[in-house]
Amino acid sequence: MRTTTGLRRVFVTALVVLLSPVVLVQPAQANAERCVDNWSGNLCLQTTNSGATVSRAKAILRFHSWYCGGPFGADRDDTEMYFTLWGTRSNGSSFAMSGSGACDVNGTYARPAEAEYKTFVVNTTFKSRSKLCLRADFQSSTSGDDNYACYIVP
């Protein structure tokens, strides 16, 4: 009887020791990027996440045949875009943020470049395997020039 109990203790201790690294290790912070090719460039949704928790989401455009301030005129206003970010939280409720951003913030105006238009500080845990999507429009949320990039939450 005592021997059986002792063996059980040894087994449980061994199990705890074996599993502890799995339990203690937090998911590493990672960057993921999903891009869609359009507007003669790429619209990219770049996320910083630890598992299903997304801390930041960035809207980035990489231009191929035109540039920030390119085919839409020389006015700064023409470089502005409108973004909507949405997804499903881990508790099932809807998440949505929006806002405008301009491409010349980092001095990329009138130069072929990668331009970071908008950063959303998200700090939200999403439903695993759900989609976190970014919609981009020129100048207004109903431009008709909408493009999408979606990220599958791990």
**Site residues (CB under 8 A) for another protein?**
80, 84, 86, 93-94, 96-102, 105, 117-121, 123, 131, 133, 135, 141-142, 146, 148, 150
> Which tokens is 87 given?
């997804």
Residue 28 or 96: the one with the smaller Cβ distance to another protein is 96
Q: Which helix (H) or strand (E) holds 10?
A: helix 2-24
Nearer to another protein, 8 or 76 (CB): 76
Are 67 and 59 contacting, i.e. CB atoms less than 8 angstroms apart? no
Closest distance between another protein and the C-beta of residue 34, in Å?
A: 13
Task: Tell me the CA distances in angstroms from 43 to 16, 120, 146, 154, one per residue in order.
Answer: 46, 15, 11, 21
Helix (H), strand (E) at residue 34: strand 29-38
Cα-only R_g, the chain: 23
Q: Cβ closer to another protein: 72 or 104?
A: 104
In this structure, what token pair is assigned to residue 139? 């100048």
CA atoms within 13 A on the CB side of 58: 15
> Smallest distance, Å, CB 77 to another protein?
9
Q: Smallest distance from the beta carbon of 85 to another protein, in angstroms?
A: 9
Beta carbon nearer to another protein, 5 or 142: 142
Query: How many Cβ atoms sit within 10 Å of the Cβ of residue 60?
Result: 20
Residue placing its CB nearer to another protein in the complex, 44 or 102: 102
